[in-house]
Structure 1
Amino acid sequence: MSTNNAPQARVDAGSLSSLQLVGVVLAAISGVLHLYLAALFVPSPMGLSFVVAGVGFLAGCAAVVADYRRPLVYLLGIPFTLGQVVAWYVVNAPDFSVLGYVDKAAQVGLIAVLVVLYRRES
């Protein structure tokens, strides 16, 4: 009989603080919006970038809910999300859409939440 000493992720959404839950919701909003945009733009390179972004946000949600190395997820999420905001501005200026504003509002809120969570937990 072998023993597995590898760290195990556990899914316990009840263990999330209110701030963690806000972060998960904001990341999920951005992830779903990016996958929606991916469906509109695939197979172009822009569509593929939306897939990567959407999957990245949703994977971050899953990692936080599963309590998998949360401080690292917060730390990696900050530049990932900030990069999304910068890329959106560079690609779309000056023609911004309502959907873009909604997504960026969620992302700016997410960055703030991630900074607070990282500072609290590290």
Structure 2
Amino acid sequence: MVSLDTDSLTTLHWVGIALAAVSAVVHLVLGVRFLPGAFGISFLVATVGFAVGIGAVLVNYRRRLFYLVGVPFTAGQVVIFAVTVVQGINELGPIAIVDKAAQVGLVAVLVVLLRRGG
């Protein structure tokens, strides 16, 4: 049986969980808005990725692996967004700023957690 393991979470873990949750909610809202197209599906896939990562951390399931996978997963979204802005496909609005700030913060948290050994 899977159970929560919040006793082992530090403040840094909770910051990472909050940042991932912000990005998950933003991607969920945008995903639903852009369905049924590929853009909407890609946002929902990102939502699932953030939710699974949060869940894994909360139940202490291979946290270090999730930190390691979370860095390129999250950083890649920042890069893809930047490319789409440059190409004129996307724009830097208030929601995007909140999301990208959360993602940059999340990458930083994950890197610190990795360096600390999980």
| Of 107, 112, 115, the match for 1:111 | 107
Answer yes or no: is the 8 Å Cα contact 1:28–1:58 preserved in 2.
Answer: yes
Taking structure 2 as the reference length, the TM-score comes to 0.92
Taking structure 1 as the reference length, the TM-score comes to 0.89
Structure 1 residue 9: Cα displacement:
4.6
Partner amino acid, structure 2, of 1:30: S
Sequence identity (%): 51
- How many equivalent residue pairs? 115
2:29 is the alignment partner of 1:36: yes
Answer yes or no: is the 8 Å Cα contact 1:9–1:67 preserved in 2.
Answer: no
Deviates more, 1:91-100 or 1:42-51: 91-100
Partner amino acid, structure 2, of 1:88: F
Aligned-partner Cα distance in 2 for 1:20–1:113 = 8
Q: Which runs of 5+ in 1 are unaligned?
A: 1-7
2:7 is the alignment partner of 1:14: yes
Matched with 2:76 is 83
The within-5 A match list for 1:52-63 is: 52-63=45-56
Answer yes or no: is the 8 Å Cα contact 1:10–1:68 preserved in 2.
Answer: no
Aligned-partner Cα distance in 2 for 1:97–1:13 = 35
2:73 is the alignment partner of 1:97: no
Give 1 or 2 for the bigger CA radius of gyration. 1
